[in-house]
Amino acid sequence: MPVILIANPKGGVGKSTVATNLAGYFARRGERTMLGDLDKQQSSRAWLALRPQALPRIATWEIDEDQVARPPHGVTHAVIDTPAALHGHLLRYALKAADRVIVPLQPSLFDIYATQAFLAKLANKGVLKHEGRVGVLGMRVDARTRSAEQLLRFVEGLGLPVLGFLRDTQNYVQVAARGATLWDVAPSRVEKDLEQWQPLIEWVSR
């Protein structure tokens, strides 16, 4: 059973967007899915409270900063949303529970510097020694721009896979306001976005 951690110490990079939509993908496939939230703001949990009962169920995962336990028996997929400034024992517990780590990253200088320090911390903990465990996801970026090229060069220099680039679009805002995900609306409305998610989906499904 995969446990997928969405982590980056920089705030506002789209961690909750990735966490909720990834959980929505698993739920739409019929998996018994749980979404945990280590952030004190509980953004993902607040989103779950908005989710209509008619949509595929995503369960709340009761986890706290004292210890991130493995999900209950019978769960097939779990996603963990994390706060900014993730460090210390909370980071250790989260990494211990996770099978895969997705690092959302925007193509700005400040985001790259903050993420570089975070990835160095993961390397010190031996996480990056496990090939295929950590991947970087470009957020709010046009893959055709120079910013995307710079981001790609930065990530490739670290020897990590780039899981794709998600564009800046109101689609994420609109579905989130209804407790929904890209997979809960008509595919024709979000066709381009679903296409951008495919490399990430293939990576987590391996």
- Total number of domains in the chain: 1
Domain limits at 9?
3-205
Query: What are the tens digits of pLDDT across the range 19-74?
Result: 999 999 999 999 999 998 887 777 888 899 999 999 999 998 766 555 555 667 78
Q: Integer distance in angstroms from the first to the last C-alpha of the chain?
A: 12
Q: Name residue 16's beta-bridge partners.
A: none
pLDDT: which is higher, 123 or 177: 177
Token output for 67: 């210890």
pLDDT at 89: 78
The answer to whether the pTM exceeds 0.75 is yes
Specify whether the CB–CB gap between 193 and 169 falls below 8 A: yes
Q: Could you tell me the CATH number of the domain that includes residue 193?
A: 3.40.50.300
Q: Name residue 8's beta-bridge partners.
A: none
